[in-house]
Amino acid sequence: MLYGRDTETAALADRLAAAREGRGSALVVRGEAGIGKSSLVAALADRAGDVTVLRCTGVESEHAWSFAGLQALLLPLAGHLESIPEHHACVLSRILGLDPAPNKEAPPGDLRFTVGLAALSLLTEAAAHQAVLCVVEDAHWLDPDSADVLLFIAKRLAAEAALMIFTVREGYAPDFPTPGLDEMRLRPLDDEAAASLLAERLAGHPYADRGLLLRTAEGNPLALLELPLVESEVRLAADWTGRRSTTSRLKQVFGDRIDRLPEPTRTLLLVIAADDTADTGLVLDVAGKLGAQLTDLAPAEADDLVRFQGDRFTFGHPLIRTAAYQGAPLFRRIEVHRVFAEVIGPDDYRRASHLSAAATGPDEEVAAALEASAQCIGACGGHGVEHVVLERAASFTSDPRERARRLLRAAEAALAAGNGPKAKALYGQILRYTDDRALLARATLIVAIVASWDNDIREAYRLYMQAADHYTAAEPESAGYPLFRAVELTWQAGDFTRAEVAADHAARLGIAHSAWVADLAAAVAGFNRSCTITVADAVAALRRLIDIHVGFGESVTPENRAMVAWWQLLIGDIDAAEQTASHTIRVARERGAAGALPRALVLHAVTEFRRGRWRDAEALAEHAMDLSIELGHRIGPVKARAHVLAMTAAYRGEEARTRALIEAAEADSPGDTVVAIDSPLALLDFSLGRNEEALDRLLAHLESNAPGDALTLVPVAVEAAVRAGEPERVADVFAWFALWAEATGQPHLLAQVERCRGLLAGEADAGLHYERAAEMHRMDEGYPFETARTDLILGEWLRRARRVNEAKTRLRSAAAVFERLGAEPWSERVRRELRAAGDAGPIEAAPDLADKLTPQELQVVRLAAAGLSNREIGEQLFLSPRTAGYHLYKAYPKLGVASRNELSKLGL
């Protein structure tokens, strides 16, 4: 019976009932040691009935055993592997230890998503036959790779017949952050429940001072059960009424119980506690060599300290394991690990952990064994554990250069695991042990990448240049990559003189990539109104770089594909940028290169924003934010908010939302990094008719920030200046914009040039420019918002010229676009102009079906309309097929269709 937990029991039962109906969820149950987490979850599992119950428990000794928790949880589902996609089954076969060739290379990409999607696929397949309850106990002791994958799954169970519950100890345990998941915190039992539990425990036993027990236990159920086993009330009063934590008290209780056991029993408990293999035969072999055998377990079983569950020994509570291991003398612990290392086969990678636990100082045999173990772990994709094992290998290495080499491998594994802070910490160690320039170059590249992840652009630039210096001394041909990246970063940092420094360095080296670095530096200078390099030179330089990278075909990495999309945006080729960005997203998902996805998604969102497809832009930007947060990348949310979401909110006149998005972007960005906050705020001012404020912001932005982004805002600055009566303030920036547009040859940009010329011209000549602009827009119809802006300005001029009927046609065309986009300030401006033209009729706009859908539904619907199956959609969006179908069927009634066959006819 669970005393005092009726509310929590009912909440768990409700979640399990929902899972049976296909409404899955995940819950984190938190509380101090002994508070009843395991009992609560065990009671739910006992009453689960016709539900498949999967269990795993995080164990401290298995914290450095890659995918140990995932293997324990999912191995019972191995029979379903044949029913999931072959590439998913292949990945999981390796992880679950079923692949007969574990020395093959690991699957490419970010394993959190590759393995996560495969595991989700397996769980979904099992849940399609019978609802599944996943119980993950002591999740704080899970190995990092299992934790990443299980949290990935937990966030994606909405449409599955599955419930996942994590239990997490608070205090005296590692942190286990679970952002985005529901949590339940177990509090101490109230006085009535505590008294009832204690009465049951003491039934038939005299105990004079039960009040002392209740006060000492402080409502902790395990303490209420265990404290009465202390030898006497006198000892309880003497030893347990101080300020010791409940965890410490309970460890002492369990330690006392273990100390009363026979010596062979204590030995067997120590061997079980030191085991990290889950191999019962191995445990008994080791125990036998130390003078203990299976029959010696009986006293511990009788005292409910240990039991045989499933196919392995388990302790009644994790604190019993801790007490059994930490309570043994050091020499006994070393002896146990030494025997484990002797008994385990020499080719078994698990042997290394016992060798290291038995070592008392530097030992090359131990270090080499750990490095080999790490290589085996890495071959299965366990980068989160690989770096831990490699760092331990380095700690047993006496030769400084060899120690630095192993630390470098650890840093590379930490980078592959997405653990930037650990990679930086390992870099600091490497600097202490070597001055080898080749090693230092590779190590510095790692921390440069981490700085880029953190959006610390200036620091990343410094580190890339430092890496180039190291390569110059050791491997000059390899210096091109960091120099190229350094130049790219100067664009984002707004510090353009440094691009020339990197280009000069590359030129002096005379390496193969010198011309690339020079071209990129020329682009940086030209896009920032350099005295010597024109914007036309910059466009030409970017075109050369684009042609080179496109010529590499499918060998281009997703990261470099995203860079090409950015260049295409800078030369105004939105069509090409859109195609490159969408292709990058597809390739990154296929390869599991999740790290490249946030940037590619943001770039694709920017192309959709420029195209006037704002709902699509918002859906892509929100997806980029979600992935960035899951990956731990700071730059993704900053770019998504400032470059897409805030821009659309500004054009819609949503002042509160625009400012909130900008504040969030600023909060996520380091203080020395440029965030383009002026752009959306200027658009907001302009949309709301605050022309002077808009002009001031835009001109300040054009002068101080990276104008690769700002160039596109020059037409807004021109219109704001004209409406504010200060056209002379934009003469220089407009001339620069016109040169850029002419260099690109893009009709949509040339149309904006003509519109600006009309605004700056006299009233008599303006109409000719406006009409030329409208004609150019018809040559390239993919930019409805810009076309509508031109129609609005032309309509205003036509009305003033008393060509009222022509004015109405233009104004109504503009109004339909603004209404569809939800750009209310612009719609109101058109309505005022129509009323002045004598037209007060309602504005009819074609419905934007995308507005009816959530961002997730919109992405699913678009992929379904393109012919992808639910399984393919799930792989594209990192969802289960069932969840993809769930979003699709929710979208059908909103769109007025009954099947996916009708989606392609909607023009989405």
Say what the pLDDT of residue 231 is.
Answer: 45
pTM tops 0.75: yes
3-state secondary structure of 515: helix
Q: Hey, CA dihedral for 814, 816, 819, 821, is it positive or negative?
A: negative
Confidence of residue 277 (pLDDT cuts 50, 70, 90): low
Q: Which of 325-339, 492-506, 604-618 has the lowest mean pLDDT?
A: 492-506
Phi, psi angles (nearest 5°) of residue 240: -120, 10
- Average pLDDT, rounded, for the chain: 87
pLDDT tens profile 895-908: 888 888 888 778 76
**Within 13 Å of residue 479, how many CA atoms lie on the same side as its CB?**
25
Residue 840's CB: how many other CB atoms inside 10 A? 8
The whole-number pLDDT of residue 103 equals 42
pLDDT at 252 over 90: no
Give me the amino acid identity at 706. Answer: A
Whole-number pLDDT of residue 234: 46
Q: What is the pLDDT of residue 209?
A: 67
Q: Which two tokens stand for residue 378?
A: 């890495």
Tokens, residue 148: 């990443």
244-328 with 850-906: one CATH topology? yes
Q: Which residue has the tokens 């682009």?
A: 523
Classify residue 279 by its DSSP letter: -
From CA 539, how far away is CA 543, in angstroms rounded?
Answer: 6
Contacting residues for 550 by C-beta, under 8 A, at least 6 apart: 564
% of the chain with per-residue pLDDT over 90: 49
**38: closest CA among 227, 154, 168?**
168
Q: What tens digit of pLDDT does each residue of 851-888 get?
A: 788 888 888 998 898 888 988 888 888 888 888 888 99
pLDDT category at 581 given cuts 50, 70, 90 is very high
Q: Which residue has the higher pLDDT, 688 or 629?
A: 688
The class of domain 850-906 in CATH terms is mainly alpha
Of the candidates 557, 648, 570, the residue with the CA atom closest to the CA atom of residue 603:
570
Which tokens sit at 431?
């600097």
SS3 of 53, please? strand
User: Worst-scoring range by mean pLDDT, 209-223, 531-545, 751-765?
Assistant: 209-223
Residue 597 CA to residue 638 CA, distance in Å, equals 15
Residue 610, pLDDT > 90, answer yes
More confident site: 850 or 126: 126
Task: Tell which residue, 102, 99, 100, has the closest CA to residue 90.
Answer: 99
Q: Which CATH code, of 1.20.140, 3.30.1490, 3.40.50, 3.80.10, is assigned to 6-185? A: 3.40.50
Residue 202: pLDDT band with limits 50, 70, 90: confident
DSSP element (H, E) containing 738: helix 731-744
Lookup: tokens for 134: 């996943």
Domain 329-434 has CATH 1.10.760: no
DSSP state of 28: E
166-175, 309-318, 655-664 — most confident range? 655-664
Q: What's the whole-number mean pLDDT along residues 669-678?
A: 59
Q: What is the pLDDT of residue 104?
A: 45
Residue 261 DSSP one-character state: S
Tell me what the mean pLDDT of segment 830-858 comes to. Answer: 83
pLDDT of residue 814: 94
Cβ atoms within 10 Å, residue 540: 16
% the chain with pLDDT above 70: 92
Counting Cβ atoms within 10 Å, is residue 617 exposed (0-12), middle (13-18) or buried (19+)? buried
What are 277's two structure tokens? 């293999």
Nearest by Cα to 225 from 8, 58, 1: 1
What is the token pair recorded at 591? 């390869």
Strands (E) located in 97-199: 132-137, 162-169, 182-185
CB of 843 closer than 8 Å to CB of 788: no
> How many residues are there in the chain?
908
Average pLDDT over residues 28-49: 93
pLDDT for the residue numbered 841: 80
pLDDT level of residue 367 (50, 70, 90 thresholds): very high
Q: What is the band of 845 on the pLDDT scale with cuts at 50, 70, 90?
A: low
Q: Read off the pLDDT of each residue in 771-799 and give the average, rounded to a whole number.
A: 93
Compute the distance between CA of residue 203 and CA of residue 206 in angstroms, rounded to an integer: 8
User: What are the pLDDT digits (tens) for 340-362?
Assistant: 989 988 777 678 888 888 888 89
Q: Are 492 and 563 in contact (CB under 8 A)?
A: no
Statement: residue 530 has pLDDT above 70: no
Task: Indicate if the pLDDT at residue 434 is higher than 80.
Answer: yes
Kindly tell me if the per-residue pLDDT of 101 is higher than 50.
no
Question: For the residues 677-684, what does the mean pLDDT come to?
Answer: 88
Angle at 122 between CA 120 and CA 124, to 5 degrees: 65
Decide: helix, strand or coil at residue 875.
helix
Binned at pLDDT 50, 70 and 90, residue 335 comes out as very high
Higher pLDDT among residues 716 and 245, named by residue: 716
CATH of region 244-328, choose from 1.10.10.10, 2.70.98.40, 1.20.272.10, 2.60.40.1250: 1.10.10.10
**Structure tokens of 599?**
């940037």
Find residue 164's DSSP bridge partners. Answer: 26, 134
Give SS3 for 57: strand
Tell me the pLDDT band of 506, cut-offs 50, 70 and 90: confident
In this prediction, residue 846 has a pLDDT band, given cuts at 50, 70 and 90, of: low
Q: How many C-beta atoms surround the C-beta of residue 100 within 10 A?
A: 7
Is the pLDDT score of 839 beyond 90? no
Q: Give the pLDDT score at 239.
A: 53
CB 239 within 8 A of CB 265: no
Tell the residue number behind the tokens 């399984």, with chain if given. Answer: 871
Residue spans of the domains in the chain: they are: 6-185, 191-241, 244-328, 329-434, 850-906
134: amino acid identity, one letter: C
Buried/exposed code over 139-166 (b: 16+ C-beta within 10 A; e: otherwise): bbbbbbbbbbbbbbbbbbbbbbbbbbbb
Which stretch, 135-139, 234-238, 420-424, 677-681, has highest mean pLDDT? 135-139
Could you give the CA distance from residue 760 to residue 792 in angstroms, rounded to a whole number? 16
Please compute the mean of the pLDDT values over residues 445-472 and round it to a whole number. 89
